[in-house]
Structure 1
Amino acid sequence: MGKSGLDGRLVSAVRAGDAEAVRALLEGGADPNTADSDGLPVLCSAVAAYDAPVAEALVQGGADPDWTLPDGTTPLWRAIDGGSPTVFSAVLGDEPRLRLPEPVREQLLALARSWHETGAAEQLRRRTGARGPVVTAPVQDGEYVWESVDQVSLGGLVTRSGHSAILTSLEWAFRILTPVSELISRAAEQPHEDQMTCWEVCSTLCQRRGFETWSAVVAHRHHPDPAHRRVVARYLWMRGVTDCASSCATKESEMLAAWATEETDSTVLANVLNAFTEYEHPDQTAIGLHYAGHLDPRVRREVPAALSGNDTPLSPATRAALLALTRDPDATVSINACRAGKGDDSLLPQITQTLLLLAEDPDADLRGAAAVELAASPDHSPAVADTLWTLLDEDNQVIRLEAAHGLALRDDPRTARAIERVGPFNGRFEHDHRANALWAWQWRRENPPTGRPLASGLAPTARSGSGRPS
């Protein structure tokens, strides 16, 4: 096929949102800067469609994010304008601080700062002159649940509300050391449900290694505004997850232990406990027991992790607290308690009973969470296997995958049919341990050992394909 044919197929793949096809076509020689029917590079089409995977594939394949367009903008400019942190990250490209001249960097920063300071709704009013109501709807901006922003529409223009996160990311990309107090205020000023700005601020602060930044951040734990304290707790959680071996880890765990006994705001306290359980501390169980009966379920949701944080056998008091939490009226508390206590044989019957009930809950997310715990449960009773089989009726393929994986772990005679009911993956779940386990189960069944047992790890790696787990 000629190059023009490849380019035409690339345009079609971008319009279809098929990132894998885009990568394959680029590897085959398609021009990454191919123009769409509007005369603009296909990267602009991906940006306008808020298609981060396709935009990422194009940039990694050589598309130019700095291509000057007829209106004087660039794909990167349009990504900032669009307000999607995920699309912006996909389009930013390598070494923007070195790649872009200072005047261009200043223009991009001014654009992001203008959106951040003015707000998406007001900025659209200024651009359109429209006086009607702004239409706002939450949308998931990335792969994870917390990556959600508002999509804002007015006068025929659409943007997303992630400009504060974009500004923070852009400043760090240009190695601008925004004052710590300004960054924390930026995150604190956002609605609590806007986790992307808080995440970006905390990620940036974690990358700014040095005692001066660290001390400036943790000083805000005494701030009178709970929103500021919440940002500090999220920062310490992120450090616990990504840098638990740092020289400040012991100091941070002591700080969180003291903070957990002093915090009066339930939202902040839940965040403090969430961070605290990422560290090792001798008082973790005691603090968990202290809050096991807290009135706010957001606090109780963090307690099971604290109670199971030590490797020692559960004490009678800890076991009793976990048992009570498995029966908590808040389903998320129950799920977390089941996860924390599943290694204790005396708790297993109650945990199984709770999970079997949650597997029938009207909420699909709770059924999915129950599927995860039941699949990995040491309880291999027929009741658990039958519930996993029932979960194969779910519309959500991830839940079906989890259920089939649980049956495969039990070598249930229905496993082959369960794998069929999971359905084709079409490139999804590459390198997923559950999908790989199903493929390995199939391979062992189709290739029984002759003469000697199959050595561990000799089953082939799962392949991408339309009908088999990948």
Structure 2
Amino acid sequence: MDERDALLAAAVEAYEPEAARRLVEDGADPDRVLPDGTTPLLRAVEGGSPAMVTALLGDACPRLPEAEQGRLIDAARRWYEEGAERRLRRLTGAAGPADTVRALDSEFERVAEITLGGRTVRAGHGAVLTLLEWEFGVLPPVEELVARAVRHRGEGEGEDHVDRAASLLVLIHRHSARTWAETTAFRHDPDPWRRGLAADAVRDRLWQLSWPFPADASRRDEEWEACTRILFEWEPEETDPHALARILQALRHTGTDLSAHEDIALRRAGHPAPEVRREVPGLFVRPLSPDALRAVRDLCRDVDAAVRAESAEVLAEQEPGEGDRELMAALLRDTDPEVVSRAVRAFARGADHSAGAAEALVRFLDADDPDVRLNAAYGLYLRDDPRTLEAYDRVAPLGRLPADDPRLEGRWRFTSRKGVGIPGSGAPATG
């Protein structure tokens, strides 16, 4: 085993998919047979991280012989069917409680990471199995994909579980009429989690149809209309909060009949379930009508922090009316740090460009959260405030941020606008 292959094996064990991806690109072999008869790819499959499997898989279908494809699928299925903790316990012989944490497997999805008997696995084998089947041309029944997606409900897992994400991905990429009909038929299922999944499938299909050049452009309008019709007919009948929240989120992607969106939002604004109320602010048409503005103001005072955070983002977009500055100030002082973070972000980009707004942003330049500090500095730049350069100096260092983060442009754009040179290259620092 050369050095690159050894490093790849270490990256797989440490759940470092980006490092593994770079090593494969640099020539490390994910299919090299190791002394124990496994391969780095097989170890990744057994490790239960779909992000790691994706990093090593590449264009695996023509690369791997059919027998090896079957071995990978069988391994994923064994772990999935037995359950990660149960199988780990049997393999290690360890007794006592497992150490379990929720790990961020990719940018948006999470999964349980289980350590027992000196060995660690992630319980994402349902997602791994789904992705391997898709890569190797195996099409399981829609019912099976849906069962994988909802398997972890009631275990403290949210809609960001890797198994759910993988099932949704495959369901909306299987472009047969039969698959789509069977998927959307789950809106009539007695299980609200399955209905919620059907709503998310419609949402994701709408998002897919919004691409500039969808693969099935000739049928785009027809499918768009069908998805929209499903949601508008379904919403009044849905009684379960979980499923209803998913429907409202999907409706935000329809982009049609905006007056109907507002009617729904006003009707649902007082729903007893906070997960439903959280979806309401995003349904209102901008600029807000008087009725919508009254509803958003009420939601800004909601007992649920997530509802207040969603509503603060909408309120900040509007030219402040009577009492709105005081309401926004209260959100900026909220006891929940997530509300404050999102309120500052929205307020920085918002419509209030008064002197008082700039002073409010200055107070956040010393916040503990570096993201809050950067949003405050960016808000000063957007208001052409003379303290912009001082603000950016105060928030540094900014840590690791994407090079294209628009907030980083505030410093050098401000200096360019004012004709002031920046020492050095003039490029925005990313830390």
Which TM-score applies when normalising by structure 1?
A: 0.82
**Offset, 1:231:** 0.9
Task: State the partner residue of 1:405.
Answer: 378
Deviations 1:416-444 (CA, angstroms, capped at 9, x unpaired)? 12112222356532111111233322344
Q: Deviations over 1:355-411 (max 9, x none)?
A: 332333343322211121111011122332223222222333222221111111112
In structure 1, give the amino acid aligned to 2:196.
R
Aligned counterpart, 1:275: 250
1:248 shift after superposition: 1.1
Deviation at 1:219, TM superposition (A): 0.6
The one-letter code sitting in structure 1 at the alignment partner of 2:162 is: M
Helix, strand or coil at the partner of 1:431: coil
* 1:334 to partner: Cα distance: 2.5
The alpha-carbon deviation at position 183 of structure 1 amounts to 0.3
Summarize the Cα distance change of 1:421–1:63 in structure 2 as closer, same or farther, 3 Å threshold.
farther
Q: After superposition, where does 1:314-393 map in structure 2 within 5 Å?
A: 314-345=288-319, 347-348=320-321, 350-393=323-366
Give aligned-pair identity as a percent.
38
CA apart distance, 1:280: 2.9
The question of 1:294 aligning with 2:264 is answered no
Would you say the 8 A contact 2:365–2:376 is kept in 1?
yes
Q: Which amino acid aligns with 1:166?
A: V
- Does structure 2 retain, via aligned residues, the 8 Å contact 1:84–1:161? yes
Q: Is the 8 A contact 1:291 1:299 kept in 2?
A: yes
| Structure 2 equivalent of residue 228 of structure 1 | 194
Aligned residue in 1 for 2:144: 182
Aligned counterpart, 1:82: 47
The SS at the match of 2:227 is helix
Work out the CA distance in 2 between the residues paired with 1:206 and 1:62. Answer: 33
Q: Give the distance between the partners of 2:146 and 2:339, measured in 1 at CA.
A: 33
Instruction: Report the secondary structure of 1:71's partner residue.
Output: coil
- In structure 2, the CA distance between the partners of 1:390 and 1:228, relative to structure 1 (3 Å rule), is same
SS, match of residue 363 in structure 2: helix
Q: 1:394 to 1:143 in 2, by over 3 A?
A: farther
3-state secondary structure, aligned to 2:386: coil
Cα deviation digits, residues 106-162 of structure 1 (max 9, x gap): 000011111111111101111111122212112222233xx2211111111111111
Aligned length: 414
Counterparts in 2 of 1:351 and 1:176: CA distance versus 1, 3 Å: farther
Does the CA contact (< 8 Å) of 1:407 and 1:414 recur in 2? yes
Gaps of 5+ in 2: 211-219
Instruction: Find the residue that maps to 1:393 and give its secondary structure.
Output: coil
Q: Who is 1:148 aligned against?
A: 110
* 130 and 277 in structure 1: CA distance in 2 versus 1, 3 angstrom threshold: same
Per mean C-alpha deviation after superposition, the further-off stretch among 261-270 and 352-361 is 352-361
Cα deviation 1:229-255 (Å, max 9, x = unaligned): 111111111112222455311111111
Task: Spell out, residue by residue over 1:264-292, the C-alpha distance to the aligned partner (whole angstroms, 9 max, x if none).
Answer: 11011001110011103422211111111
* Aligned residue runs from structure 1 range 5-44, under 5 A: 34-35=2-3, 41-44=6-9
Q: Which residue number corresponds to residue 436 of structure 1?
A: 409
Unaligned runs of 5+ in 1: 1-32, 449-460
Q: Cα gap change, 1:332/1:298 in structure 2, threshold over 3 Å: closer, same or farther?
A: same
Letter in 2 for 1:48: E
Query: Cα 1:463–1:170, aligned 2, differ >3 Å: closer, same or farther?
Result: farther
Q: Provide the secondary structure at the position in 2 that maps to 1:430.
A: coil
1:124 maps to amino acid: L
Deviation at 1:348, TM superposition (A): 4.6
Matching residue of 2:70? 106
- Residue of 197, 206, 227 corresponding to 1:252: 227
Q: Does 1:49 align with 2:17?
A: no
Change in Cα spacing, 1:336 to 1:348, as seen in structure 2 (3 Å) is farther
> Structure 2 counterpart of 1:262, which letter?
E
Alpha-carbon shift at residue 225 of structure 1 (Å): 0.9
Q: CA RMSD in A?
A: 2.4
1-structure distance, mates of 2:333, 2:24: 44
Question: Letter of the aligned partner of 2:12 in structure 1?
Answer: V
Residue 216 of structure 2 corresponds to none
Report deviation, 1:343. Answer: 4.4
CA distance in 2, matches of 1:178, 1:296: 35
Amino acid at match of 1:438: R
